[in-house]
Amino acid sequence: MPTKKNTGRKPRRARRKKSAKFTRIALFTVGFLLVLFIGVYGLHLAKDKVSGPGITQSELSGAIVSADSNLRSAYFDMGVSSEHVRSVKPQNKAKDDIRWEYKDIVIEAPGRLSQKEIKDTITKSLSSVPGLESHYKVSTHSITALLTIKDIETHRIKFNFQPSPSSQKTVKKNPQDTTKETKKVEDQDKKSAKLKEHIQDYKQTAATKPKVVIIVDDIGMSKSSIDKLLQIPAPITIAVLPNLPYSEYAAREAHKKGREVMLHLPMEPKESSGYTAVDAGEDALIVGLPKSEIQRRIDKNLSAVPHIQGVNNHMGSKFMESGELLELVMKEIKSKGLFFVDSMTSGKSLGSEAASKFGVRSVERDVFLDDASKGAAYVKSQLRQLVRVSQKKGYAIGICHPYPGTVKALAEMIPQMQEEVEIASVSTLLDHSLQIGKNNN
């Protein structure tokens, strides 16, 4: 009997061991397959993330605007002017749903510049642009900067250098060859001298001074201030508020005298600025309104002032921070062929981004020239600051108001300023494409 009991228990233990082993193998197999699946899926997601643009349209547009602005400062620091720019070829490019304008720029480097100086200056100037990286290709007589924003190449800037005379090999020549070579050099010198004369003549006739734009806002309430402004012998730009007693009068008279007219479009300010939505004026663009009502007000304001060539914002420190609503404004501005000047009443303004998205030509205000509580002396100091900014950037935009002290300061200062700068309209500034990054040659 004991022998039978022992022989009966052994098969059951064997079966249990075999079942446990099979369970472990099955669990291991399932676990391995699960880990493998998660790893492959994660790799697929990571690949998709890397291969995608990794940046939104508005982020890219904003970064390109910043890059162009910083490049202009870099050009100035290196002594590169428009006469050194040989070609700028913009190309419209797209990747997935992202679109941008790629700029291929060729510059003849001024003689004193070195490749190291160019590389260091450009790298430093662009260090503040989010997501931007600069790579350089160096050869004997050139250095090329390739700029990418989140793996999207946006700029190619090639600086060419003239080979130095000492780097050219000298070859012994017989007397006859020397005579022929001497005559050839003399002919080349004559041609070079004539070319220099032509270039000098061109420089004397071309507008080589920095350009300064002066915009006078809030026009339309007082007839006398309008008349006094129009007596100043300079192309001051008039920004007219709609629905005021002398709005149409100001636009007509300014147009007759060849002055540029803009619509000073009322927009909602922040209450922290000391104003409320009511202060912005009749038919102001208010953030909380339905889009259909905002659209109606945009159309009404654009039709209220005749002869307008552009638009800038009146107040709007709140509205200018709403990219979605600004798109309604820019779409209408684009359809009417107008430009836009961002008054920069908010440091977080999205005006440039929205304008770039719809292909609207735009610039930003550099200096506020006056203050209601200060007189002519303050305005004159601000005008001198405006000149300094223009000498650094190549241009500058100042905004002021038709206060008596401001009008007096403009009348007295503009003749002095014209010895150093050219007073220009916004259209002239845009047409001359002073911003190298936006040159359409």
Name the pairing type of β-strands 152-160 and 142-149. antiparallel
Residue 285 has what DSSP assignment? B
Q: Which residues contact 282 (CB under 8 A, 6 or more apart)?
A: 242, 243, 266
Query: What local confidence, expressed as pLDDT, does residue 440 receive?
Result: 37
Provide the pLDDT for residue 175: 60
Q: What are the CA-CA distances from residue 164 to residues 10, 157, 241 (Å)? A: 98, 22, 59
Domain boundaries, the chain: 57-160, 211-436
Task: Report the greatest alpha carbon distance in the chain.
Answer: 132
**CATH architecture of the domain formed by 57-160:** 2-Layer Sandwich (3.30)
pLDDT of residue 80: 79
**Which parts of the chain sit beneath pLDDT 70?**
1-21, 30-32, 35, 39-53, 58, 69, 82-83, 163-207, 433-441
Yes or no: domain 211-436 corresponds to CATH 3.20.20.370:
yes
Beta bridge partners, 265, equal 313
**Dist CA 362 CA 397 (whole Å):** 12
- pLDDT tens-digit map of 82-131: 668 877 787 888 887 788 888 899 999 887 789 999 999 999 889 888 88
CA distance linking residue 381 with residue 399, whole number of Å:
14
Report pLDDT for 372: 87
The residue type at 38: I
Q: How far is CA 107 from CA 86, 158, 342, 395, in A?
A: 6, 6, 30, 20
> What is the spatial distance between Cα 306 and Cα 176, in angstroms, rounded to a whole number?
75
CA dihedral of residues 266, 270, 276, 279 (deg, nearest 10): -30
**What integer pLDDT is reported at residue 51 of this predicted model?**
43
Q: What is the DSSP string of 136-165?
A: EEEETTEEEEEEEETTEEEEEEEEE-PPPG
Residues in the chain, overall count: 441
What local confidence, expressed as pLDDT, does residue 9 receive?
54
